[in-house]
Structures are given as C-alpha cells and as structure tokens.
Amino acid sequence: IAERPWWKDSVVYQIYPASFKDSNGDGVGDLQGIISELDYIRSIGVDVIWVCPMYDSPQVDMGYDISDYENVYPPYGTVQDMERLIAETHARGMRILLDLVVNHTSDQHKWFLESRSSKTNPKRDWYIWRPARYINGERKPPNNWLGNFGGSVWQWDEHTQEYYLHLFCPEQPDLNWENPETRQAIYKSAMEFWLQRGVDGFRVDTVNMYSKGDMADAPITDPRSEWQFAGLQYCNGPRMDEYLMEMNEILAKYNAMTVGECPNTPDMARVLKYVSAREKQLNMVFQFDVVDIGQGPYKFQTTPKNYSLPDLKRAIERTQVLHRGNDGWTTAFLENHDQSRSISRFGNDSPEHRVASGKMLAMMMAALSGTLFIYQGQEMGMVNFPLEWGMSEYKDVDSSNYYKMVAGRSGNDPEELMAAKVSLQHLARDHARVPVPWTAGENAGFSTAKPWMRPNDDYAVCNAKQQQTDKNSVLAFWKRMLKLRQQYGDLFVHGDFDVVDVENKDVFTFSKTWQNRKALVVLNFTEKERELALPAEVRSQKMQLLVSSVDHVKQTQLSAYEGRVYLI
C-alpha cells in the first residue's frame, strides 16, 4: 500500500487568530489565547493545527495582506509568543502549519514601498507594473480582468504613472514570480524564517495564481456582469509547475508538508499534477468543487440552497476520486475562514435541527477519504448569524465591496439591497469570523472586552463549556466520529469512495471500500423521516451498525437528519 506519512492520517484544526480567544482584554483574539486552549483542541481528537496569518499586517484583508513575514501583528503577540505556541503544540504531540501568503504582499511591505518609489528602483520588477493603454485618448488598464473582491485587478499609481496588478485588494499588490530574485527572497523570508523555528508545513494561499495567464487583453467572459472575475484566466498559468517544484526543494530540506488552496481548477488532470508525489509540487490541495456549489458567475450572485443533493454528491465525488489509482492525495473540508457555516449552508440551522444536522455532517466528513480539515467552531455546530443583523456587523472587505457595488449599480434599490443581504447572510465569509463562544457568560467567554465582531445570538446554548459536558452535543459526536475515523482508518481515510444512489434527492448513501472490507454511510439530508433504502446486494450481506447519529435507530426508517454507518 502507498506509504502513509503523518499528514495523510492527520485531522487538521484551522484557527483564525482574531476570532479564537482573547487573552489580554483588547477584544481581539491572540496567540496566548490559542496556547490557553491547546488542551481543548487536542481533546477534540485532532493532530495538527493550521494557524491563519498572524504576521504583521495593516489588516485590510484580515492578515492576508502581509507587511512583514518575519514579525507578528502586535495585537496577536510577538515572535517569541509564536515560538512558545510551536513548542506547546509539539509538547502535546500535535504539529503546526502556518499560512503561506506569497502571491502578494501588503502595499505597506518594505519591498513594495521600494518597488513603487521609482521605475528604476532595484525592486521595481519584484511586482507587476504595466503602462496604461489609451483608447480614444482615455486611459485604460492593461487588460480588463476583474479581481476576487470586484473591480479591475489594475491600480493606477500617480507617482510613477503606471498600473500595478492586484488580484485581490489594491492593498495586496501581486509579487512578480517571474523574477528569480523575488522568489528567493520569498522562500527565505516567508518560508525559511518559520521553518527554522519548527513549523511542520504550510497551507499555501492561492497556490495556483503565482504564474498568471496571458496578460494580453482578456475579454471578460460574461460582459453582463461587472463581477465576472477572471479567475480562469489568471489561475494555473504556464510556469506553475516550475515554481512549485523550486519551492518544494526548500520545503523538502525541512521535510515540510504543504496543502495548496486551489480555486478555479475544473480540470482534474491539472489538479492531479499538483498533488502527484512524483511531481514533487504539493502534498495535497483544497479543491473548491464542494464549497463553490450553487454559486453564480460571482459567488454572491446566487440564491441560497440553489443546488440539489445530487449536485453535492457529484461535487464530493470529484474531490474523492482525485487520488484513486495514482500517487496523489486529497483533502476533505466543508468550512474555512472564507466559507459560511456548513450547517447553515448544507444542513439546517434552525434551533430544532442545528444539532441533528450538525452531527450528520460530522459523520459525512469523518467518513471521507483524504486529510480531514475542521474549522474552529465547526466542532460545536456554529451557524451563520441571522439576516436581522445590520450591515455594520459585516467586517469583511469581500462583503462590504459587494454590498457597495450592488448599492451603486442599483441606485440603492431596496429590493436589490435585500437580495444582496440575503446572499451575504447565506455565503459571506464573516460567518466564519464570529468569535468562538467558550461560555454562556459575558462576550461568550471570548474576551473581557467588547469583541471586535459580535458573538452570535445563540452562544448561550452553543458554546464550548456547555458542549463539553453535554454527551448529546455536536462536539461529543465529533469526538466520537474522529475516534472511529482513526480506528477504521483504512476504510475512512484511505478507502475508495463510491456514491450508491446519486439521483436520490433526499438521502446520500456512499460506500467506502478497502480490500475486502466495506463501510456504508447513509445520510438523511432532510427534516423528514425517509425510508432506509439499502441496495439489494448490500441487504443480502451480513451488516453491523457501527454508529448512528440518533439514539433511537428504526429498522426501516431514517429519522430527520439521521446518519448511519454500517460495516459489511
């Protein structure tokens, strides 16, 4: 069997520093807050933590705009605090990944301040500068690509009379990976500085955007929409393999693990090349097939729940077959800091069904092959904050840019603004950035000060303290499922995934096979009782119920949101 390095069988817990726990009473989470809860994290049954950007940053994009790779954002702590976090994590038998954000820096990074200072500065070519086009005497950007946060990807710079590229905010200028000097500086400053301090690997931000496609004028594929961003043009450019193999040479010196964030990549052969062991590029990637489901040409141009369960089954299948019969590896995730909460998105976040559907989704994820990633609060069944909250509660540039664009485009049309608000309540990244609730006490136990973001209204019932004592909690069920995932690793982590009844729009049944053993996972995605319709060839065999997400298991009926795993 394929070798099993630690990162294949690990469960990774993603931490968003601003929202995890505040230890010094400034209303913002910090590194000491993470250290203080490492035992809690370990108790869930996870093996690795991934800490989102804690580097020095003006925080335009919550730390994904880095102004100094070799320093910590002061409200979070110091480099010494990071060294303590690394040591305390290792002392508990866990490993630690940091976020590697090297497609761009902050516009406050010293490299960019030099690059923009003059056209002859030695670092001018460390970023991507282009002259304007002039059409009918009017100044135009070099091409009409649109960025991930709306608007052109080109920012005019008065001082040197050129545009610079930014696939995200204007405050996030893209680094020029074509320049070998720049690449070497990135490897040294963003990677080796932390690898030398003992980090075990990286989650690699926007890993397929370092080599851009052809910069020539690329027509927007959907002229109807101002927000049809050109992701397909500037992802997976021609030199991606070369850059990642070069980067891998550094990582290999430290035996470091990598998981790349790989959006906008429908071509499975391209994805496989990134994760194939013999290609020596990345160990695994996050594919976006599942979390992008139901989204329009731009994610917010969609309506809630506008996908079917068969669509979801097919999307999960595309992430589960990637490593089958080859030397690749895959990941399983439903949440991260860019996604809204999975119970709200794929389950049912009403008070009546939050716990049941949270357990059902926990069972699904624990039974999927590949390295499993859980996002802070997912283990407790956190859900989106309600539609009633005002726009002032949305702190994310992605959300506010979209709402502003709709207001401008529609002249503040109330119906358009409400539609935008409905989409944001369903999909905004802000739902993942709400402070983690630790207790039912003031500020949900997150801080002794007013938290930078409002805790969700349900923290009295949904908080870590309550769930650690409640044997029927979502947390208790996640712990149980992670133990079973470890106990039956061949089936759950390495087994071959096959959908059993792809067209069933209510129940998701899939099997996991490892040599002559099989597990059958049956998930009722609806709030109604559904018939337990097992395939004939399975019914005839000896089956043992391994686990159900409900206490009273009926012979022929699945309860609302009930999940079951049978061993065959």
- Residues near ligand TEU (CB under 6 A) are 61, 64, 101, 148, 168, 205-206, 261, 263, 299, 337-338, 398, 429
Q: Looking at beta carbons only, is 244 or 500 nearer to ligand TEU?
A: 244
How far, in Å, CA of 103 to CA of 92, rounded?
33
Nearest CA among 498, 381, 367, 384 for reference residue 432 = 384
Segment (H or E) for 444: none
DSSP letter for each residue of 190-245: IIIHHHTTT--EEEETTTT-SS----S----S-TT-TT---HHHHSS-TTHHHHHH
563 phi and psi angles, rounded to 5 deg: -120, 145
Cβ proximity to ligand TEU: between 107 and 398 the closer is: 398
**Cα–Cα–Cα angle for 425, 431, 432, nearest 5°?**
155
Choose, from 56, 205, 338, 379, the residue flagged as catalytic. 205
Catalytic annotation, pick one of 65, 261, 379, 458: 261
**Quick one: 205 or 379, whose CB is closer to ligand TEU?**
205
What is the number of other CB atoms lying within 10 angstroms of the CB of residue 288?
A: 20
Q: Rounded to whole angstroms, how far apart are CA atoms 412 and 417?
A: 7
The least CB distance from residue 101 to ligand TEU, in Å, is: 5
Comparison of 66 and 367: residue with beta carbon closer to ligand TEU: 66
Least separation in angstroms between residue 167's CB and ligand TEU is 8
335 as an active site residue: the answer is no
Least distance from ligand TEU to the Cβ atom of residue 338, Å:
4
Between CA 488 and CA 561 the distance in angstroms is: 23
Q: How far is the CB of 165 from ligand TEU (least distance, A)?
A: 13
CB-based contact 403:502 (threshold 8 Å): no
Which CB atom, from 313 or from 426, has the smaller least distance to ligand TEU?
Answer: 426
Smallest separation (angstroms) from ligand TEU to the CB of 255 = 25
**DSSP symbols for 271-318:** HHHHH-GGGTS-SEEE--TTTTTT--SSTTSS-TT-S-HHHHHHHHHH
Least distance from C-beta 122 to ligand TEU, angstroms? Answer: 26
Cα atoms found within 13 Å of the Cα of residue 294, Cβ hemisphere only: 20
Catalytic residue status for 261: yes
**Considering Cα of 132, then 135, then 140, then 141, what sign does the dihedral take?**
negative
Nearer to ligand TEU, 10 or 339 (CB): 339
Residues 537 and 568: beta-carbon distance below 8 Å? no
* Active-site residue list: 205, 261
